[in-house]
Amino acid sequence: MKVSQILKSKGSSVVTAPPHVSIRDAARELKRHGIGALVITDETGQVVGIVSERDIVNAVADLGEECKELPVERIMTREVLTCGLDDTTDKLMEIMTERRMRHLPVVHEGKLAGIISIGDVVKSRIDEIAFEAEQMKMYIGS
């Protein structure tokens, strides 16, 4: 299955924040939306980073409670791996497993087009396997 198919099913909205937002406000956005990562964009909408729950936990562990007022740009991952609409779930699983990542922003023609989580990939693989099993049952039964 391709990324474009996953986005067609789940939608393409992405929660973003600017680099100067505080770590506390980033955590609040994660909680409010029930998500695990925020894509950090500049004023032109370009992806400049990503911050995850893990980044925030590491900041609290390393810097203490006072880190909550620091800008998220201090802890975000700056070299953001992205995927494209034509990438497959197999490729995403490989990237996410090797890099120990749970979120990949989707970029199409230089613009943010969505975000894929490991949960999205797992769900799509389960759907594919269920479809293939049903097709095999139908084939065997005919």
Q: Using 50, 70 and 90 to split pLDDT, how confident is the model at 123?
A: very high
3-state helix, strand, coil in the chain (%, to 5): 50, 25, 25
Tens-place pLDDT, residues 32-79: 999 999 999 999 989 999 999 999 999 999 999 899 999 999 999 999
The residue extents of the domains of the chain are 3-141
* 73 DSSP assignment: G
Strands in 22-119 per DSSP E: 37-41, 47-52, 103-108, 111-117
pTM over 0.75: yes
* Rounded distance between C-alpha atoms, residue 20 and residue 73, angstroms: 6
Residue 1 burial by Cβ neighbours in a 10 Å radius (0-12, 13-18, 19+)? middle
CATH architecture of the domain with residue range 3-141: Roll (3.10)
Nearest to 33 by CA among 117, 92, 126, 106: 117
